[in-house]
C-alpha cells in the first residue's frame, strides 16, 4: 500500500538531488537550497501519511510494511546525511552544503 508511494517519492527526491549536484554553477540559496526544499515536498507528504498510519495501527500488515520500507528509507537518508558518493563520483551533501545543517536540524525558511 505505502511502498509504491514512498519508493516513487524517494526516486523523485533522488532525481532532484542529482539535478542539483550536477550543476556547475556555485551553489546559492536560489539554485540549490530552495529547489531542494521544494523538491522534497512529495517525499515529506508521503512520509507524513505513512507515519500517521504506522503510528496508529499496529498489526501484522503494518509491521510487514514497516519491515520492508524501513531499510529503504534508512538507506535513502544515509546517502544524503553521510555525504555518500553517488555512482558518478560526486558527493551529494558537500555540493549542497548540507552536512552540518542537516545534522543540526536546520530547515530552510518558508
Segment 68-87 mean pLDDT: 76
The reply to whether 17 falls in a domain is: yes
CB count within 10 Å of CB 68 equals 12
Q: Do 39 and 105 touch, CB atoms closer than 8 A? A: no
The reply to whether 110 falls in a domain is: no
> Is residue 21 over pLDDT 50?
yes
Domain that holds residue 82: 3-103
Give per-residue pLDDT as tens, 26-77.
777 888 778 877 777 888 889 999 889 888 887 888 888 889 999 999 988 8
The reply to whether 45 falls in a domain is: yes
The reply to whether 109 falls in a domain is: no
CA angle 86, 88, 92 (to 5 degrees): 35
Q: What whole-number percentage of the chain has pLDDT above 70?
A: 72
Amino acid at each position: 500500500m505505502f511502498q509504491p508511494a514512498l519508493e516513487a517519492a524517494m526516486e523523485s527526491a533522488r532525481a532532484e538531488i542529482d539535478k542539483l549536484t550536477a550543476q556547475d554553477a556555485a551553489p546559492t540559496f536560489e539554485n540549490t537550497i530552495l529547489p531542494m526544499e521544494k523538491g522534497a515536498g512529495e517525499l515529506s507528504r508521503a512520509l507524513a501519511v505513512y507515519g500517521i498510519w504506522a503510528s496508529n495501527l499496529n498489526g501484522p500488515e503494518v509491521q510487514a510494511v514497516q519491515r520492508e520500507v524501513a531499510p529503504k528509507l534508512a538507506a535513502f537518508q544515509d546517502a544524503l546525511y553521510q555525504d555518500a558518493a553517488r555512482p558518478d563520483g560526486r558527493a551529494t551533501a558537500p555540493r549542497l552544503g548540507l552536512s552540518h545543517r542537516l545534522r543540526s536540524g536546520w530547515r530552510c525558511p518558508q
